[in-house]
Structure formats: C-alpha cells, structure tokens
Amino acid sequence: THDTAKAAAHYAGCPVVIVPTIASTDAPCSALSVIYTDGGVFDRYLFLPASPNVVLVDTEIVSKAPARLLVSGMGDALATYFEARACQRSNATNCVGGKTTLAAMALARLCYDTLMADGRKAAVAAKAGACTKALENIVEANTYLSGIGFESGGLAGAHAIHNGLTAIPETHAFYHGEKVAFGTLVLLFAAAVVVFLLIAELTRGQWMLAGSAVVVLAFLLWLGNRLVHVAANQNKNPLG
C-alpha cells in the first residue's frame, strides 16, 4: 500500500514515488503512514519528514477500478473540510504541529466544493469505466486536495471514530473512507447536539435535555443500519 511504501522509504532513507491505481484515500500525497496491528486495528500515526517525492496518477487507469473505491475516497475526502473547520474553531494544532491557516481552509473548502459539484457525476462515470472531467476532478480532490488539506487543516472526530471502529472486527469489511464518512456524520451531528444543549442550558429547558438524548440515540442507530445497508449494496450502485 501507499503507507507501507512511504514508511519503508523513510526507514531506508531513499526517495519514494507513489503511482496510485485507485483513488480510495488521500494517502498518496500525505507525509504520514498509518500503522495498524496484525489484526487490522489502528495503532498509531507515523509522521514523516516530507511528502512523497513524486505522485503520478493515470486517471484512465483509475476510472477502470471498481466504483466503490472512488466513492470510498470521496467519503475520506468529505471529512477534510469539516475536520479542518473543527480544528480552526478550537485552535487545535494540525498534523505538522502548526495551526490551521487561511490557505489550509481554502484547500479544504475547495475539496468539499469539488465533491459537491462533481461527486455524483464521477461515481456514474466510474461505474461505466469512463474517464470524464468530473472523474478527474474527484481524483484530484480525493488524492491531492484532501491529502494536503487534512495535513494542513488537521484531523478531528471523523478520523478518531474511524480509528476506534477498526477495533471492531465486523467493520473490517468496510473501506477506510466508508468508516470516515460515518465518522463525519457523527461529528456533524455531535456538533449540532452541543449547540442544542447549550440553548437548553441557557433557557433552562430541562425537557430539551432528555429529548435530545433520545434523538441522538435514535439517529445513531438509524445511521449505523444505513451504513451497513449502503456498504452491502455499494458494488451494485456506487451512489448508495
């Protein structure tokens, strides 16, 4: 995998060239490798001194890969903007030890806007094995905008939830981006609940506190069932 190649090159002290044949994650451009245990459970991040020396993507080859992989990459890329925004608002440090800058937020926002503009069209193209402009835009978003965006913007709840899910064997059949997408939805819903609880506290509406707990539980149960349903049918319909 990309992360294995980057880590091996780091320890060998040699350059590394990444040639992705799929666009299922933002790993190709990033200066880190994710380390897992032999059982597939997240262990730690290995932060590298630099991004790969060259990243070369042939979008014609990527377009012939299973559509589910491209859609999974969109799920990974979807987290970039929302996690960067969370880091910016909380003044958290990013993956390189700095703060979220205006440039980082611009990259993250462009990643999100590209997904919204071309994601559905790219998924249809991937299902047909066609290399279209929309598909090329999504490959750039999944691979470059998200990879540089998450490093510069920072990681937050979406990837933390993904990392926790790897400890559950039943989730190993799901791709990285599918679990990150679930984490993004939980992150956004949790943020909305915080606002709701703040309003409840300010208005002293205790009934709202009880009601919000019920809503959170019901939503997460529904979302979990929906994730399983979508993943089960992904090979038939990349749009879920």
Q: Which residues are catalytic?
A: 76, 159, 162, 176
For 175, list phi and psi in degrees, rounded to 5: -75, 160
SS3 of residue 37 by DSSP: coil
Q: What span, in angstroms and rounded, lies between the C-alpha atoms of 227 and 231? A: 6
Do 181 and 79 form a contact (C-beta atoms < 8 A)?
yes
CB of 158 within 8 A of CB of 180?
A: yes
d(CA 208, CA 131): 50
Strand partners, 18: 55
